[in-house]
Amino acid sequence: MPEIDIAIPCYNHGRFLRQCIASVLSQSADMRVLIIDNASTDGSAETARLIAAEDSRVELCLRERNMGPHASFNTGIDWAQSDYFLILCADDLLAAGCLGRALSVLRAETGVALAYGGQVIWEEPNPCPVPATVDGAVHTSIISGPQFAETLSMPHTPIGTGSFVVRTSVQKQVGYYRPELYYTDDLEMLMRLVSLGSAAKMDAVQGIRRRHGGNISADCWGNWKRELQELLAAFESFFANEGATYPWGAKIRRRVRRNIAHRAYWAGVSHHLRGKRQASAELLQFAWSIEPATRFMPPVSYLWHVENAGHLVASRMREIAVATAARLFPVTN
């Protein structure tokens, strides 16, 4: 039996599929790959058949009816039999050497449920970014379930599906992705996984996420209130289900709600200073609905807990300066 199983859901991403598969098969790991096509209409199935004919490690599940993305994720979970498991969407890529790094950590740290690293965003039509080459072992931090859950509620480097490798036994135990969480199902799954073990964070880029306008999450881009609402929904789902059974659940839920309220508050302030009054009002109302105290007292302490707080403040100041200059000195033709 191979050491890792990799499921690749695909819907109308045939133009990306070969590059995605190439990034997987080039890894130095003993693997099986399952392409799960969700009744694509762009020729994805034909591309998948050609790829499978070229490499015996590739298997196919080609649906005749579109059953939605969660059905594909969950088919992969049912299919997985190896010690380790990864889901990689067909429009994303694995960074060079990422599987070797993750598997090395998981073999060494038996109490770890998943190993993950950073991801870089590829904004099409720009050239594909090439992460820095990693030589030898990478620095790894072991993060407890409660700490990890709270970290996910703060601004952080996104953890994409292609950026984390899980123990198949843990994945089977926590079960399926929840279809009611259309945009943040992966984040909620991360919390379920680390509720059964620690997370190992590697200081290396593990995945490359392609942004091309057809992503599932595209509707949320630039809409801060929508993003934070979806984030809150993922946490509330976790704490209403599995998270309710853990002694730390109630405490971490309070902290998570506070963090999201504070993020909404400062986003609202930033929008107001840039002249986006409607968006600002909506964000502030959202913050007040979660933590009423923010109506009367700015949550200044939040700023000291944000990663790279100085960079965040500097970025906001630049945005405000640009917006102010545009209002004071409008460009006229």
- Taking only the tens of pLDDT, the chain with its 333 residues reads 899 999 999 999 999 999 999 999 999 999 999 999 999 999 999 999 999 999 999 999 999 999 988 999 999 999 999 999 999 999 999 999 999 999 999 999 999 999 999 888 888 888 888 888 777 778 999 999 899 988 888 876 667 667 799 999 999 999 999 999 988 899 999 999 999 999 999 999 999 998 876 555 545 446 889 999 999 999 999 999 999 999 999 999 999 999 999 999 998 988 888 788 999 999 999 999 999 999 999 888 777 776 655 666 666 566 666 766 676 677 665
Considering the domain architecture, whether residues 92 and 173 belong to the same structural domain is answered as: yes
Q: How far apart are the first and last CA of the chain?
A: 68
SS3 assignment, position 161: helix
Model-level pTM?
Answer: 0.85
Considering the domain architecture, whether residues 14 and 94 belong to the same structural domain is answered as: yes
User: Which residues fall within 8 angstroms of residue 289, CB to CB, at 6 or more apart?
Assistant: none
Domain contains 201:
yes
Burial per residue of 271-289, b for 16 or more beta-carbon CB atoms within 10 angstroms, e otherwise: bbbbebeebbebbbebbbe
Considering the domain architecture, whether residues 207 and 226 belong to the same structural domain is answered as: no
Considering the domain architecture, whether residues 179 and 58 belong to the same structural domain is answered as: yes
Considering the domain architecture, whether residues 148 and 121 belong to the same structural domain is answered as: yes
Which range of residues forms the domain containing residue 45? 4-212
Domain contains 126:
yes
Considering the domain architecture, whether residues 155 and 251 belong to the same structural domain is answered as: no
Q: What is the pLDDT of residue 312?
A: 60
CATH number for position 80: 3.90.550.10
Q: What is the pLDDT of residue 112?
A: 97
Considering the domain architecture, whether residues 239 and 272 belong to the same structural domain is answered as: yes
Considering the domain architecture, whether residues 232 and 181 belong to the same structural domain is answered as: no
